[in-house]
Structure 1
Amino acid sequence: MRRGFYDRAVTVRGWAWVVLVVLCAALAVVVAVLIPWQRPPAPRADQLAALAELPGERVAKARELRGELRWIRYPAMLVGLGVALLLGLTPLGAWLVGLVPGPWIAKVLGGGLLVLAVADLVTLPFAAWRHTVLVRYGLSTQGWGGWAVDLLKGYAVGAVLAAIALLGFFGLTRLLPNWWWAVGAAGAAVLVVLLSFVFPVLVEPVFNKFTPMADGPLRTELMELAARDGVPVRDVLVADASRRTTALNAYVSGIGPTRRIVVYDTLLREAAPAETVGVVAHELGHAKRGDVVIGTVIGALGAAALVVGLYLLGGWGWLLRRAGVDSIAEPKAIGLLLAVATVAGLLAGPAQAFVSRLIEARADQHALELTGDAAGFEDMQQRLSLVNLSDPDPPAWEQSLFGSHPTTVERMAAARAYARTHG
């Protein structure tokens, strides 16, 4: 009897390893095939020339700001990691969940929210510190009341998503003790895809008010630009970003029927129409190349692999003993799940940043080809850097680890190289 059970368990774990290898291989193929590995040229000489043309006092202020933010960002990351490991690799997380009385559903919801609340509260002072710095540098227009409301909105959205994920996870572990990982992996992938569709419609309006752009030359030009690019969009919306920031931005949001161009009201006030067109052309490049779909597929495969990996980690006795639990399938293991997810996110961060930079560079090239306006593109990159107070040429190590976009001087240099090639 024991021998048969043991053989069956080994077979299940064997299948889990096979599925994990297949998912990782599929992820590697998607990245290899769909990610643009060749970046447009951005000669370093052009980068240095572009940097020299930027206002020195503004660059110095941007670097001063980024220096202050480093003293917030990196300690916050370390503290967040330390708290996650403390909750997951000691019995503390299990103890917190055990404080919640009632059936397993109550422990999952109450215990999960309690564990996440502890993790959020510990890093809350860093978020408040960051807000004071952004206000002092004129990048945030929010008072403490508005900042607190947005913070609570973010916590509420995170709590809902966490509740859905935890209920699904522990519900499956009870229904399918041996094979929950297979259904859970598929469910995690579907959830990522679903969020890509519903996020623009349900989540974005929680944080911003969107109004249709008034009819006029700019709206007409943006819609014609999208039509010429072969990217169908439902509408052009204006986001009331000025209620919280002075930063400039625009983006194309959604997939298929939910796709729309969104422009910050700050961009409309600060930038010339031609520069706004350049930003939107970049964002249309993402839609044209299916970058949102690519990101969704990568996220879905990664989420599925994480679920299978959790099942395999659940057989590691040392890890369970450290967490003070008997099984990863019991609600008391929520702290352990948080620790695994935190470590996985930190390890995957530099790879995600690298892929993002390649995709953003391709979108820049698309904007240059679509508009044919290299000078306007360079002017817009200069304006974005100066208004947003981003370091135009950050340290190479920091850019490699965390930079999600090419640097300002790289983007300006790419525009100059394009202009030389195309006249």
Structure 2
Amino acid sequence: MAGLTEKARGGVRAGGGVRAAGIALVLLGVAVAAVVALTTPWRSLPGAAPAVTPDPARDFSSGQIARAAAFDAAVNVPVYLSLAVTLVVAGVLVLTPFGAWVVGRLRGPWWLRALLGVLALSAVSLAIKWPLGMWYETRLRAFGLSTQQWPAWSADRLKSFGVQTVVIAIMVLAVVWLARRSPRRWWIPAAAGAFLLTVAASFVYPVVVEPLFNDFTPLPQGRLRSDLIAMASRDGVPVEDVLVADASRRTTALNAYVSGFGATRRIVVYDTLLRAPAGEVELVVAHELGHAKNGDVLYGTLVGALGAAAGACLLFLVVSPPSVRRRTGVASVADPRAVGLLLGLMSLTTVLSGPAENIVSRQIEARADVHALDLTRDPATFAAMQKRLAVTNISDLSPNAFEYVMYASHPTSPQRLALARSWVRLHGLPEP
């Protein structure tokens, strides 16, 4: 080894770094797979539960089915075009020197050029997608789903852009800074930082980001609040609060969700949902209690954190070959001109990981539905609630395979109703 040139020794060290990152990626991938395999409810009902085939025609009128299909057709074009723009922009940043060319025209210290590069390249994508977002918004208004005016819509879109850009800028700056300090080992602190950032975001998001888009007030004292708190107590779920979001200033859709964990965990219901019968609101909250009781946010955070750490290792491996850097006009990841390459790879990773995340999410949502049925023992109200959600939100009752894989984070309404019927038959109760 003593006879090796300095260049050869550098190549050996770089090769060692790639091997180490590859081993770490495999280990983190195994950890993610293990957590997903052990915590995902692959079967929401016992094996003895009778199978029920989902059938939209059983629960929805021909007019409701036609309206859902018409809405789907109306929004498909802007949605598909937006996805295409995302992929094209990411492809340009990964396969061409465009990103390096943009950042190369900026002036200032490396960190300022990196920041301005993130902002400039993200703004290009925002500008291209803006007309598509307006197109989608006009479709929502045409079908009565949006209550926003253009100034409020624009403000929300810019706030969302700002939040995303800040998070991306933190990640990109960290990668470039670490690469400048340790060119062959930056993936190690980057993986650790990605893990910690994901965990921190779970705590911070409910109390910092969510209030940017909605005002939250405690559910007023009264029978509904008392019943919900009593149900949570009966379920053995510690709930910090039940909050109402002023969603009606933006949409007519009905929704509720659970966010955060520990001291930041809360159940949030849209004010639009409070217009539904109290029993249906209780069923929705029972579903959310299922997420809290099963620690879905905690496990989701763990999977996301491990995935983010694995992503840092994968990023190191992808940008290591000289051919990648030559193609994008970047000398190394330590060069602020690498911002475009990093943005493109992050964007592609987000799109490509979506289908796998949806598979897990649909199973978790089905378990929460079963939890709501077990807790309330009221399948008739559950069915009424699912129909109301589907009709009011104009849910896609029969998504095609592509839409189901790419966008369906929940089972379809017919699937959820079929699950309820299977639960009913398992327990020998009257079928709704």
Would you say same fold, with TM above 0.5? yes
The question of 1:170 aligning with 2:176 is answered yes
Which residue identity is paired with 2:349?
A
RMSD: 1.5
Match of 2:378 in 1: 373
Tell me, in whole angstroms, the C-alpha distance in 1 between the residues paired with 2:33 and 2:388: 37
Q: What is residue 315 of structure 2 aligned with on the other side?
A: 310
Please say if 1:321 is aligned against 2:315. no
Q: Specify the code of the residue in structure 1 equivalent to 2:82.
A: A
Q: Which amino acid aligns with 1:164?
A: I
* 1:348 alignment counterpart: 353
Do the aligned residues in 1 keep the contact of 2:172 with 2:342 (CA within 8 Å)?
A: no
Most deviating of 155-164 and 209-218: 155-164
- Quote the residue 2:409 is aligned against: 404
1:211 match: secondary structure: strand
Q: What TM-score comes out, normalization by structure 1 length?
A: 0.96
Retained in 2: the 8 A contact 1:51–1:392?
no
Q: Distance in 1 between matches of 2:422 and 2:242?
A: 31
Give the letter for the 1:65 counterpart.
F
Matched to 1:342, the amino acid is: S
Give distance in 1, aligned partners of 2:16 and 2:233: 54
Distance 2:313 2:107 in 1: 29
- Segments of structure 2 that go 5 or more residues without pairing to the other structure are none
Instruction: Please give the alpha-carbon distance, in whole angstroms, between the structure 2 residues aligned to 1:182 and 1:396.
Output: 38
Shift of 1:5: 3.0
Deviation at 1:44, TM superposition (A): 4.6
Q: How does 1:255-334 map to 2 (within 5 A)?
A: 255-269=261-275, 271-334=276-339
Q: Distance in 1 between matches of 2:73 and 2:242?
A: 36
| Counterpart Cα distance in 1 of 2:128 and 2:270 | 32
- The alignment status of 1:34 with 2:39, answered yes or no, reads yes
Give the letter aligned to residue 224 of structure 2. L
Could you tell me which amino acid in structure 2 is paired with residue 387 of structure 1? T
**Structure 1 residue ranges, 4+ long, deviating more than 6 angstroms after superposition:** none
- 1:145 matched to 2:144: no
Letter of the 1:146 partner, please give it: A
Contact 1:42 1:411 in 2 (8 A): no
Percent identical pairs in the alignment equals 48
- Give the structure 1 partner of residue 192 of structure 2: 186
Partner of 1:116: 122
Whether the 8 Å contact between 2:156 and 2:213 is mirrored in structure 1 is: yes
| CA shift in 2, pair 1:11/1:395, >3 Å | closer
Residues in 2 aligned to 1:397 and 1:51: alpha-carbon distance in whole angstroms: 22
Q: Which residue of structure 2 lines up, in the alignment, with residue 71 of structure 1?
A: 77
Kept in 2: contact 1:251–1:263 (CA 8 A): yes
The letter of the residue matching 1:279 is V
C-alpha contact (below 8 Å) 2:50/2:425 kept by paired residues: no
The whole-number CA distance in structure 2 between the counterparts of 1:79 and 1:8 is: 39
The residue type equivalent to 2:163 in the other structure is: V
**2:261 touches 2:298 (CA, 8 Å); kept in 1?**
yes
Aligned mates of 2:162, 2:355 — CA distance in 1: 28
User: What is the 5 A alignment of 1:63-142?
Assistant: 63-142=69-148
> CA separation in 1, counterparts of 2:101 and 2:138?
35
Once residues 164 and 10 of structure 2 are traced to their aligned partners in structure 1, the CA distance between those partners, rounded to angstroms, is: 39
How many aligned residue pairs are there? 420
Structure 1 residues not aligned, in runs of 5+ = none
Aligned residue in 2 for 1:55: 61
Conserved in 2, the CA contact under 8 Å of 1:87 and 1:336? yes
Tell me, in whole angstroms, the C-alpha distance in 2 between the residues paired with 1:282 and 1:69. Answer: 28
Structure 1 letter corresponding to 2:43: Q
**Counterpart of 2:282 in 1: which secondary structure?**
helix
CA distance in 2, matches of 1:227, 1:25: 37
3-state secondary structure, aligned to 1:238: strand
Q: C-alpha separation between the residues in 1 aligned to 2:334 and 2:312?
A: 12
Deviations 1:293-336 (A, max 9, x none): 11111111111111111111122122111111111231111111
How far, CA to CA, are the matches of 2:91 and 2:415 in structure 1? 38
Residue aligning to 1:197: 203
Contact 2:287 2:372 in 1 (8 A): yes
CA deviation profile, 1:223-248 (whole Å, cap 9, x unmatched): 11111111111111110000000000
Deviation at 1:58, TM superposition (A): 2.1
* Letter matched to residue 111 of structure 2: I
The residue matched to 1:232 in structure 2 has which SS?
coil
Any idea what SS the aligned residue of 2:272 has? helix
Partner of 2:269, secondary structure, is strand
Asked whether the 8 Å contact 1:65–1:137 carries over to 2, the reply is yes
- With structure 2 as the length reference, what TM-score do the two structures score? 0.94
1: CA distance between counterparts of 2:99 and 2:11?
A: 30
- Aligned partners of 1:311 and 1:189: how far apart in 2? 16
Q: Within 2, Cα distance between the matches of 1:42 and 1:335?
A: 52
Residue of structure 1 aligned with 2:254, choices 239, 248, 251? 248
